[in-house]
Amino acid sequence: MTEKKNTRKKGKTKISDEILPPAPVEDQAITDTLRINYMPYAMSVIISRAIPEIDGFKPSQRKLLYTMYDMGLMHGARTKSANVAGATMHLHPHGDASIYETLVRLTKGNESLLHPFIDSKGSFGKRYSNMAYAAARYTECKLDDICEAIFGGIDRDAVDFVDNYDSTMKEPTLLPTAFPNILVSANMGIAVGMATNICSFNLAEICDATVELMKNPEADIIDIVKAPDFSTGGLLIYDREQIQSIYETGRGSLKVRARYSYDKKENCIEISQIPYTTTVEAIIAKIAKSMKEGKFKEISDVRDETDLQGLKLAIDLKRGAEPEKLMAKLFRSTPLEDAFPCNFNVLIGGNPKTLGVRNILNEWIAWRTECVKREMYFNLCRMEEKLHLLYGLKELLLDIDKAIKIIRETESEKQVIPNLMKGFNIDEIQAEYIAEIKLRNLNREYILKRISETEKLEQEIADTKDKLASEKKIHAVIAKQLADIKKKYAKPRKTQLIFPEDAPEFEEPAKEVYPVTVIMTNEGYFKKLIPYKGNLPQNSEQKLKDGDFITVREDTDSECELLFFTDKCQVYKAKADDFETLKPSMLGEYVPGKLGFDDGENVVAMLLARDYKGSVAFFFENGKAVSVPLVSYATKLNRKKLTNAYSDDSPAVGIFFIPEKEGKKPVYEFLLRSTQGKAIIMNSDQLAAKTTRTASGVYVFTLKKNIKIETVSIFTDDGSEEMKKFAKYRKSKLPSTGTLLEDYDINARQIKFDF
């Protein structure tokens, strides 16, 4: 083998070859780690990402709209959305994909907002659908006309400007929205430890309520702002007390249902508006699933017929179906009726606050008052500067020839301004202005025309100062702006109100309860059989898979709840009526598939919970056992799956139902057999009773290393002489090492005992 040449030069050592000492490690308290590392991140998400401010925008939305304003997209032709997304990265360096997603939501085409801020062209998806929007290179956009009310005064010091992230340009901290956009545009965000979900309200109603609150801070606005108004329309079930609570606290829930019509000729229900919180695809999926389960037998087909005219969901009915009753069922069990959870969390002065509608409007009025004051003060300064110049021009009118003579006879350019100041007794600014007048304008007509503005300016300055000194007059200015915005941009309500009595709930007829026999097999197959004349012979032949056998066979009724315990420590709940009625000659329904088990999850045991009385006995491979009350698996809500159903410290080898004890005698005896061939017989009274579902229990069988419990079965003592042989396996004190099973005992057990 050829020896490799060492190409390393002598006297030189690579850094990687040196043995570097480990970096010093300093202990840090977890509280310090949270304070130093986590809290800044959490505050950044709350303040700079997820929660909107009083102008109604999140930072990403504000930066996007200001970029479009700065690009000159307020008027003129549209530009490619890709140009806007790229330019916005100067203010919001989070990738063009997230910027474009923000842009999509603000467009007319997406229909997420009652009053979109972006006039769009192209496919931008829909709020009510999962349909994907087109790429930014294919779509075009510009600012919508309503943005005039968003940016008015931004160039007149109405809001503060700060440096962007790399200090190369300025951006506004807020946009001077001339209407309460915070309540007109829907907004949702999830921060760290808090969230916000603000529904949209009708622009006209919000403008009227704002004006009323400026007149009377104690006014009751619920008769003005009747209820939220969603861009997807729908019917809102009006509950005055609930809405009043939301208006006061900023928290609550509103029920919204779809709007539909019935086409008698086609025997079809057409849905044209759906709740804001759902999509067409989610509704169709839920209806289709329920149809497979046999819940909507009146429906023959459901399909999406949405086109350029808007949303349309068609539900074909079978002959004889009653549309009103069917819709009541659909509202009750599908997203055609959904709840909008209100959480009006807003940043006020950099601090998140949950406010009601009244308090949000009061905060907006206070903030908008400051914006208008700043804008007025800016205009006042400009007018005073202009008036000051005109006063200087007025002095020039007294002797134009003198001014010309001063300029002509001044030898140095630098002396022109001082000489004019001295000659007319004016200051430097006025002299500079006079010196810049063109020669052609040094005539009496031009100067008189300019001076004529003086009186008008003096009046405007006086009016502005008068307004600045009176908050009531500032509010009058805001009220006029709101009236103009309402007249120009207001739209009729999309979400109509209905009262609970106009939305009756049809009661479903009570289900008939009938006797059934339920059968569970070792391989996870379930059968529900109807006994013939109230009786199903025990020896009736049941079709099973090869190698499969019956583990549970019980007589019960159709409303009995079934608990399926799995090998992943979970419980799935169902009623006997949820399963199809089968014949003995059929294989049965595969429970993991029927109930939607996790991948690789199998049934360990099935128990019947008729009234949730009694307890459940668990036996584990490691020799432990425990008893848990069956009521621990009862739930107030209609939950179909319970996690952490029992201890996962060791696999379960036996799960049994133990009825309530009525006499002194134990309910059951159990025969436990280990892989070593030893056995013990214990009774249900010897089980450790725990109230926690995940309790691991106590040891009942002492096992050697690598030995585990193999089987557990119910032991039935019929009092015969043969059964007396099994007395040696009964243990009064536990845990026990067990007794070695003899051959005749094993054979007897196989014959006598129910596995």
Are 753 and 681 within 8 A, CB to CB?
no
Is 133 catalytic? The answer is no
SS in 3 state form for 371-399?
HHHHHHHHHHHHHHHHHHHHHHHHHHHCC
**Block residue for tokens 């429906």:** 299
With a CB cutoff of 8 Å and minimum separation 6, the contacts of 608 are: 518, 554, 556, 560, 561, 562, 563, 657
Joined tokens for residue 569: 């420590």
CA 380, distance to chain mean position in Å, is 47
**For the chain, what is the radius of gyration of the CA atoms?**
40
With a CB cutoff of 8 Å and minimum separation 6, the contacts of 699 are: 622, 623, 624, 734, 735
At position 29, the amino acid (one-letter code) is A
The dihedral sign for the CA sequence 472, 477, 478, 483: positive
Instruction: State the Cα–Cα distance between residues 203 and 483, nearest whole angstrom.
Output: 11
User: Which residue(s) pair with 689 in the sheet?
Assistant: 627
Q: Is 466 exposed, middle or buried (0-12, 13-18, 19+ CB in 10 A)?
A: exposed
Task: Using alpha carbons, list the distances in angstroms from residue 500 to 278, 317, 497, 503.
Answer: 22, 26, 10, 5
Break the chain down into helix, strand, coil percent, rounded to 5: 35, 25, 40
Helix (H) or strand (E) run with residue 629 in it: strand 624-629
CA 732, distance to chain mean position in Å, is 57
Region of residue 653 (phi > 0: left; psi between -120 and 50: alpha; otherwise: beta): alpha
The dihedral sign for the CA sequence 199, 203, 208, 212: positive
Number of residues in the chain:
755
Closest alpha carbon to 370 in 88, 556, 174: 174
Strands 259-263 and 652-658: unpaired
Backbone φ, ψ for residue 659 (5° rounding): -65, 165
Joined tokens for residue 522: 């070792």
With a CB cutoff of 8 Å and minimum separation 6, the contacts of 353 are: 345, 346, 347
Instruction: State the Cα–Cα distance between residues 283 and 558, nearest whole angstrom.
Output: 29
- CA 667-672-677 angle, to 5 degrees, is 155
DSSP 307: B
If one counts every other C-beta atom within 10 angstroms of the C-beta of residue 438, the result is 7
With a CB cutoff of 8 Å and minimum separation 6, the contacts of 5 are: none
Are 225 and 248 within 8 A, CB to CB?
no
- Catalytic hit among 38, 41, 138, 744: 138
- CA 472-477-478 angle, to 5 degrees, is 95
Is the previous residue joined to 116 through a cis bond, with omega within 30 degrees of 0?
Answer: no
Biggest distance spanned by C-alpha atoms of the chain: 145
Strands 603-609 and 561-566: antiparallel
Instruction: State the Cα–Cα distance between residues 314 and 263, nearest whole angstrom.
Output: 10
In 27-178, DSSP assigns E strands to 79-80, 118-121, 140-143, 161-163, 170-172
Are 139 and 124 within 8 A, CB to CB?
yes
With a CB cutoff of 8 Å and minimum separation 6, the contacts of 449 are: none
- CA 459-460-462 angle, to 5 degrees, is 65
Catalytically active residues are: 138
